[in-house]
Amino acid sequence: MSVIRAMAIVVGYDGGDDLIRCIRAIVATCYRPLELVVVDNGATDVGRLRLIDTADVPVRFVRPGRNLGFAGGVNAGIATLSTAAPDDIYVLVNQDCFIERGSIGALVGALIRDPRIAVVGARLLAPDGLTVEHAGGMIRPNGLTEHLGRGCPNSGLFSRPSDVEYVTGALCAFRHATWLELGPFEAAYHPVYFEEVDFCVRARRAGLRVVYEPAATAVHAEATASGGAGSSTFLRHYHRNRMRFLVRHRLRRGTFARTIAAELYWLAGLRRLREIAPVLRAYCGLPADLVWSRRTATRRAG
């Protein structure tokens, strides 16, 4: 296993102390050989990162000069790794995700054991360290995403690997070969949300597996850069990119009617303006999303 190189990629945006803690946890992991790429999308305290003792972990900083969003930041980070071999493994770690020492090894091990696995994700715990936040994910017919196990006690119920519809990009891994096959993250999911969902859907559509690996564990503060899950910023970005996801994957022949029916049923259950307003704003972007989807499909076909 040690001959497989792992490259951890952290996209930093207004991370502050969380970013520092995240980097220290990565460096403290026991997996080697390991490299670290920090993409500065507007990170705070980047200067302090240079003071961290990285020992035998080579670190490079990528400064695009503007906020590329999470997908664009990941793409920019991977683009700097021009010497990557097909079996090299990229490990995405959110700046508010603090991994345990064996987590990178567990992700790498899952990919090595089965070449059919395209993407492998981790068990994420809430900040209390006792409550499950993510044990794989599922996608509703109208594109709403759900973390399996959310809010449940961290127990044996979530201790077995399983195939899932998607895993969160907060902590996941995939081979360089998979990246070449599926293409980069779609940067149009700007600034954040649904880029990893899209990537996992493309993987499964190609006949590959997406797997939850509980041996990889981390504590995740979740959505700190957007004000926390449920904030107005979170809802705005989430539903805007949900529309992009629907246009690309669900508003098509065979799934169109089911998607619309599921959306109408869900809308009927909304009661508060703070929940409805970002959805209505997201609908306003649908015409532009349709144009983007057609151009993307044409580009990929070419």
Based on the domain organization, do 296 and 171 belong to the same domain?
no
Based on the domain organization, do 221 and 236 belong to the same domain?
no
Based on the domain organization, do 177 and 162 belong to the same domain?
yes
Based on the domain organization, do 241 and 206 belong to the same domain?
no
288 φ, ψ to 5°? -65, -35
Q: Which pLDDT score, from 0 to 100, does residue 53 have? A: 75
Q: Is residue 122 part of a domain?
A: yes
Based on the domain organization, do 251 and 153 belong to the same domain?
no
Q: Is residue 1 part of a domain?
A: no
Q: Is residue 73 part of a domain?
A: yes
Based on the domain organization, do 60 and 158 belong to the same domain?
yes
Based on the domain organization, do 177 and 220 belong to the same domain?
yes
Q: Is residue 256 part of a domain?
A: yes
Boundary of a domain, candidates 203, 225, 247: 225
Residue 250 near residue 143, CB atoms below 8 Å: yes
Q: Is residue 291 part of a domain?
A: yes
Number of domains in the chain: 2
210 φ, ψ to 5°? -120, 125
The alpha carbon of residue 261 and the mean position of all alpha carbons in its chain are separated, in whole angstroms, by 28
pLDDT of 100 > 90? The answer is: yes
Based on the domain organization, do 25 and 149 belong to the same domain?
yes
For residue 18, the enclosing domain spans 6-225
CATH number of 154's domain: 3.90.550.10
pLDDT of 225 > 70? The answer is: no
Boundary of a domain, candidates 195, 225, 255: 225
Q: What is the mean pLDDT of residues 24-42?
A: 94
Based on the domain organization, do 44 and 153 belong to the same domain?
yes
Boundary of a domain, candidates 197, 225, 253: 225
The DSSP string of 213-272 is EEEEEEEE--SGGGTSTTSHHHHHHHHHHHHHHHHHHTSSTTTHHHHHHHHHHHHHT---
Based on the domain organization, do 183 and 248 belong to the same domain?
no
Q: Is residue 244 part of a domain?
A: yes
For the record, the structure tokens of 171 come out as: 């902590």
Per-residue pLDDT tens digits for 193-218 = 999 999 999 999 999 999 999 999 99
One-letter identity of residue 285: G
CA dist., res. 200 & res. 94, Å (int): 17
pLDDT of 177 > 60? The answer is: yes
Residue 4 near residue 113, CB atoms below 8 Å: no
Based on the domain organization, do 254 and 218 belong to the same domain?
no
- pTM of the prediction? 0.94
For the record, the structure tokens of 141 come out as: 């017919």
- Of all helices (H) and strands (E), which one includes residue 178? helix 176-182
Q: Which pLDDT score, from 0 to 100, does residue 226 have? A: 64
Based on the domain organization, do 83 and 131 belong to the same domain?
yes
Cβ neighbourhood burial of 12 (10 Å; 0-12, 13-18, 19+): buried
Q: Flag the least confident range among 51-60, 185-194, 243-252.
A: 51-60
Q: Which pLDDT score, from 0 to 100, does residue 2 have? A: 47
